[in-house]
Amino acid sequence: MVAVTIKKMLIANRGEIALRVMRACYEMGLETVAVYSKADENSLHRRFADSSICIGEGDPSDSYLNISRIIAAAEISQADAIHPGYGFLSERADFAAACKLSNILFIGPSSGIIERMGDKAKARETVQALKIATIPGTKVLASKEAAVTAAKKIGYPVMLKAVAGGGGRGMRLVRNEQGMFSAFEMASTEARKSFSNGDMYLEKFIGKARHIEVQILADKFGNCVHLGERDCSIQRRRQKLLEETPSLFIRPKVREKICAAAIKIGKQIKYFGPGTVEFLVDEKQNFYFMEMNTRIQVEHTISELYTGIDIVKEQINLCCGHELRYKQNKIIFRGHVLECRLNAEDVANNFMPTAGEIGRFHVPQGLGVRVDTHIYSGYEVPPNYDSMLAKLIVWGLNRDEAINRMSRSLKELVIEGIPTTKLFHLQLIESKEFRQGNFHINFLENFQFQEPK
């Protein structure tokens, strides 16, 4: 197999992930092309790219989700590769297929792999064939009535989930039969709007579980390694707010088994590039496969600081057909890493997303501190997109040092002009429960945020 050589990368995304990909491209000697909507006319990802092309209005369907416009932008700019980032088109099999049809390298796995693992029901069947445990559940549900019948067999509470997509969208916790019909309608509508697919399935709800995911890297020659696990259990509305590695909860032998299971899945489907295999782990440390994300993750950053491996550079090299440069026994895991997602949200108002102009803005600095962001003082946060403003990532020799460093960094951080989750994160990491590691995926339901006076 001959590796593909590329010179110019179009980044089919916005915000901090577009900037993150650009940094990797610059260090690899690649030219970059930004696409932007009219709402992002003053965005940093447009300013820092070698060239940029406007692809439509602020609504994502008119811009970042418009495949034909993005392909046209790549052809006009003569880009020979497209990086989708995360979200938007990153897990759309038809986008990967459109790139191939236009002779443009898609920086991600093949459309076949995306389709196989992006369909949660098909992914469950694939994993079950490998004798890896999955959460008790159903195949695609034909109707709301079918969901009620299935839930009675599984036993309430259950999780209603979209077959396509992720990020907490198209998901509802259903505690009884009375709530099923409205939950099904809302979840299906949300999934259809977000992923153009309203199909749903059910899973048994596991209380006080941990959300543990494993980062893998694989090449086109059958080699696959893991970069450790990430604990993503701090969530609201099934969306992650804080991640850390390694997990304080997982026992060493369980860690070995869960990482081995992730590699087994990657090899079975002939995966290539970085991928994330997600599991739920119950109180007895039994683990169950949930899904596989066939893209770069928001929280890939903590695995980078934990191992010293630039995952985006590896992604580009692996998708170009290069052999994996790392052997499992040569990967060094060092220290402890935390990431806080700083969102434009009003925590006291049920994490309501907000928009507006950023006032004073200052990022923390010092040893072991990294900030990935696209905002600046005077930046107008648009209402059209995800509410994340920045990711604050800290490394420490151990968990206590990482927590103390995160606390210091959050206090040093200044984002004025709109409500953010900064104070929420500060209260969370300084809480007794978090410091002791006593949390789970439903922990925030009872966490009392104290509004500043």
For residue range 83-106, list pLDDT tens digits in order: 999 999 999 999 999 999 999 999
Residue 108: its pLDDT value, please? 98
Per-residue pLDDT, averaged over 66-83, amounts to 98
Task: Check whether 167 has a pLDDT greater than 70.
Answer: no
Share of the chain above pLDDT 70, in %: 99
157: preceding bond cis by omega (within 30 degrees)? yes
Q: Are 446 and 370 in contact (CB under 8 A)?
A: no
Which active-site residues does the annotation give?
295
Alpha-carbon distance 341 to 33, whole Å?
26
What pLDDT was estimated at residue 96? 98
In this model, does residue 165 exceed pLDDT 80?
no
> Which part of the chain is CATH 3.30.1490.20?
136-204
Q: Read off the pTM.
A: 0.91
Given this model, what pLDDT does residue 194 score?
81
Q: Is the pLDDT of residue 56 over 70?
A: yes
* pLDDT value for 299: 98
pLDDT class for 448, splitting at 50, 70, 90? confident
Q: Please give the CATH topology (third level) of the domain spanning 210-445.
A: D-amino Acid Aminotransferase; Chain A, domain 1 (3.30.470)
Domain 136-204 has CATH 3.30.1490.20: yes
On average, the pLDDT of the chain sits at: 95
Give span(s): CATH 3.30.470.20, the chain: 210-445
The proportion of the chain whose per-residue pLDDT surpasses 90, expressed as a percent, equals 85
Q: Tell me how far apart the alpha carbons of residues 111 and 57 are, in angstroms, rounded to a whole number.
A: 27
Whether the predicted pLDDT of 76 surpasses 90? yes
pLDDT band for position 351 (cuts 50, 70, 90): very high
Would you state the pLDDT for residue 120? Answer: 80
Task: Please state the rounded mean pLDDT for residues 165-184.
Answer: 85
Model pLDDT for residues 432-443, shown as the tens digit of each residue: 999 999 999 999
The closest alpha carbon to 275, from 307, 233, 227, 240, belongs to 227
Confidence bin at 449 (pLDDT 50/70/90): confident
Tell me the C-alpha distance between 368 and 394, whole Å.
5
- Find where tokens 């020659």 sit: 221
Q: What is the pLDDT of residues 284-326, one digit of tens each?
A: 999 999 999 999 999 999 999 999 999 999 999 999 999 999 9
- Helix (H) / strand (E) element for 38: namely none
Residue 453 banded pLDDT, cuts 50, 70, 90: low
pLDDT tens track for 131-140: 999 988 888 8
Write down the pLDDT at residue 446.
Answer: 87
User: Which of these ranges, 189-203, 231-245, 316-330, has the smallest mean pLDDT?
Assistant: 189-203
Residue 325 CB neighbour total at 10 angstroms? 15
Q: What is the structure's pLDDT at 20?
A: 98
Laid out side by side, the sheet with 171-174 consists of 171-174, 158-162, 200-204
3-state secondary structure of 450: coil
Higher pLDDT, residue 237 or 190: 190
Q: How confident is the model at residue 2 (pLDDT cuts 50, 70, 90)?
A: confident
Range 8-107 has CATH code 3.40.50.20: yes
Which residues face 291 on adjacent strands?
278
pLDDT at 262: 98
pLDDT band at 119 (very low <50, low <70, confident <90, very high): confident
Cβ 227 vs Cβ 309: under 8 Å: yes
**Hunting for tokens 């579980």 — which residue is that?**
209
* pLDDT at position 107 over 70: yes
Rounded to the nearest 10 degrees, how much is the dihedral formed by the CA atoms of 111, 22, 9, 51?
A: 130
Helix (H) or strand (E) holding 253: helix 252-268
Q: Is 305 helix (H, G, I), strand (E, B) or coil?
A: helix
Count CB neighbours of 326 within 10 A: 15
Residue 316 CB neighbours (<10 A): 23
**Model confidence pLDDT, tens digit, residues 357-376:** 999 999 999 999 999 999 99
Give the mean model confidence (pLDDT) for residues 174-201.
89
CATH 3.40.50.20 location in the chain: 8-107
